[in-house]
Chain A
Amino acid sequence: MAVDIDLFNTFSFLWCQGPYYLGVYDLASIRENGALFIRKASRSIDPNLFHILPVQRSDDIPFIRWPSEIKISEKIDWIKLLEYTRRMRGE
């Protein structure tokens, strides 16, 4: 996606993004990432993670993530947002 960084900086106040709550649905990403450590950026964490981590091998991490066809939260349409910010700037 072609992104105008300046546009995003200017209108960054338009979207809510964080802090991100760490949950079991992050396990697939953690496994793919191969990281040694994970960090929570929010005050609390899904307690289920304490029952799963730490592991001996990456294969022991369940490959769990939200299915893309399931809408859990409002998905950000970045293209639409980009068009909106351009309109706001009169471009």
Chain B
Amino acid sequence: MISILISNTCLLILFRAGMTEFAINPMFLNEWDVYINLSADTLPVYTPQVISNMFDPRVDGKKGRGILHGMNFVTASSTQTGLVPTNINMFPSVWHKRGHYESRGSFNLNYTDDDGMQRTEDIVIHFGSQWMMLTPEFVKYIALSLQRHDSLASRFKETLIAREIMMSDETFIPTLLAHHSRFKETIPKIGDDGALVPGPWFDSVVIKSVRYERMDENVPDAFGNVVHEQKYDVPDSVTDVDIPRKWVST
């Protein structure tokens, strides 16, 4: 079985503290195969062995590598574009998320890349989820980048702070992923049906998201999608089940 590093803490905090340690300390480096960020209200659909097999880097005969090996997942089922991060430009212009990030102008940043080259990048915000599954290589890249003041990650962070724009891990990390020439290739490839294109060994597997959740309070979404499935009805006699409440904008 491969090593899975599971956390239920905010990723950005982790990158400032513990995650950096796991990513670059020789004692931990190469000791884990995938980083999965979960929250306390998350349940596994599959057994640990099955999930482990999905990320297994070892080639197993005709099966090849694990179906999810080498991919960086930064979304959940409630993400507008399924398995891939949502480009901010896909949102309607009136959508609150788009308005917030565009309120202080574009993100045209000068930085030094991993090879020491001076570059300019027009950053396009991408939205995902904080419940991610990341490769060690990408985690290491972010951890090291944030330690270098002239990196894209640091310049991006500094600009957000200077403009007083809110940036959560569910946008910061997907945006970095989408802007790295190598790591953006690790974003899952999806077909017309929105499901993962898994490769020749796994043609019978259908994965439309890595994390299922119904967040009915957030519908209709930016694209006008609504939930048509029925909800449960809570009888008056029940006291330990949440009563659906009105959505309140914060």
Contact = CB atoms under 8 A, between A and B. Distances in A.
B9 interface: no
A40 interface: yes
Interface in A16-59: 16-23, 25-26, 29-30, 32-45, 49, 53-58
A36 B245 contact: no
Interface of B: 38-39, 41-48, 50-51, 54, 76-77, 92, 94-96, 131, 133, 195-196, 205-220, 222, 224, 226-227, 229-234, 240-242, 244-249
A6 B98 CA distance: 13
Given A9-B96, A33-B209, A56-B47, A18 B226 contact: no
Contacts of B219: 17
Given A38-B212, A40-B43, A16 B246 contact: yes
B207 A35 contact: yes
Given A3-B224, A36-B45, A39-B39, A12 B230 contact: no
A88 interface: no
Given A18-B216, A78-B220, 6 more contacts: A9-B94, A38-B43, A39-B43, A40-B41, A40-B43, A78-B226
For chain A, give the interface size range: 35 or more
Interface of A: 1-3, 5-6, 8-9, 12-13, 15-23, 25-26, 29-30, 32-45, 49, 53-58, 61, 65-66, 70-76, 78
A3 B220 CA distance: 8
A49 B43 contact: yes
A37 B212 contact: yes
